[in-house]
Amino acid sequence: MGEFDTTGVWEQFADSPAALAYLEARFKDEASLQHVLLEEADDSHFSVQQWVEALIVLQQWLGARGLELPVKDSIGYVSCAAAAAGAGASLSHLPSMVDDLLEAYGCDRAVKK
């Protein structure tokens, strides 16, 4: 995968400054993390846009509680939510599912900042 700022996939976030800022803060110059995110999204029934929105939901939840989680673990958390959707994934909204999981179960891997 090429440089972050030349990756065509991110162009879909041009109308979402918050999503683009999140991507730049956590994925710029991180080709391996970009690859993990795109592979997980490709292997799921959800768009990259929903994945990024779900990651933002997770980040906001962590921030509100003074917690942090490595990006790779955050992708893993969202991956679990995507897998939990099962066959009905096309009817689900991934960011909402992540929010529901966080409220019900929290995030055991998160640590205090």
59 has which bridge partners?
none
pLDDT of residue 92: 83
User: pLDDT by residue (tens digit) across 40-64?
Assistant: 999 998 989 999 999 999 999 999 9
80 vs 61: CA distance, rounded Å: 17
pLDDT of residue 1: 39
Task: Express each pLDDT in 4-14 by its tens digit.
Answer: 443 577 778 88
Tokens for 103, please give them: 């409220």
For residue 88, the model assigns a pLDDT of 64
How much is the average pLDDT of 17-44?
90
Q: What pLDDT is recorded for position 87?
A: 62
pLDDT at 70: 97
Question: What does the alpha-carbon distance between residue 69 and residue 71 come to, in Å, rounded to a whole number?
Answer: 6
**53 contacts: CB under 8 Å, gap ≥ 6:** 19, 94, 95
pLDDT for res 15? 87
DSSP one-letter code for 67? E
pLDDT tens figures, 86-110: 766 666 899 999 999 999 999 999 9
